Amino acid sequence: MKLDPEWQGILEELLRGKVRAVILTGGIGAGKTKTAAAMAAALRTAGHRVGGVISPRILRDGITYGYRVRDLLTGKEAPLCSLDPPGIRFRRFYFSPEGLRFAREAIIRAGRQARVTVVDEVGPWELRGGGFAPALEKVLEAGKPLILTVRPHLVEKTLEGLGLRRTRVLRL
C-alpha cells in the first residue's frame, strides 16, 4: 500500500513532535490496519525503528472470525481472539490470555526500544482499562509518538481517556 503524500507529511509532523499521535479511524474493513502497517513500513524505510502491534482480521467465508496480533519489532504473531471459546469473553469475542500477554509485551517493548509505537486498535475494552490498556499506559508515560487505530464513535472518548493533545485524526 502506497502512502498518500499528505499522510507522509503527517508522519513527519509526528517525528518532529508537532503532533503527539496519529489516529486512524474508520469502520470495520476501512483499512485501518493496512494503513497502520503501511505507515510503519514507510517509517522503517526512512530509518526509524517502529514497534507495537497490528491486529489483522481472520476471515472465514467473508465473516470476521477473529484477529491475530503481530509484533512490529519482531514480526512474530499470536492468536488474539476468536468467536469461539476458550478465552476471556469481551462482547462477541473470546480473547486469548496468551495473545493479550504477547501484545502487551510487544507494546511495552516498543515504548522502550522504538521511535514510534503503533497500537491497533484502541477500543471499548482499552477505554475501560482492559485489553492493551496496561501496556498503552506505559507508552503514554514514556511520551513516545503514537499511531493508533480507533473506530469513529470512539475517537473523542479515546482522545479524552488517554489525555491526548496535538493529535491528527485521519478518517479512512
- Burial of residue 50 (CB within 10 Å: 0-12, 13-18, 19+) is buried
Dump pLDDT digits (tens) for 89-100: 999 999 999 999
Domain borders along the chain are: 33-146
Q: What is the pLDDT of residue 28?
A: 86
pTM for the model stands at 0.96
| Residue 146 grid cell | 503514537
CATH 1.10.3720.10 for domain 33-146, yes or no, is no
pLDDT tens, 106-141?
Answer: 999 999 999 999 999 999 999 999 999 999 999 999
Q: How many other CB atoms are there within 10 angstroms of residue 160's CB atom?
A: 10
**pLDDT of 18 strictly over 80:** yes
84/66 Cα distance (integer angstroms): 9
Residues paired with residue 69 on neighbouring β-strands, in sequence order = 78
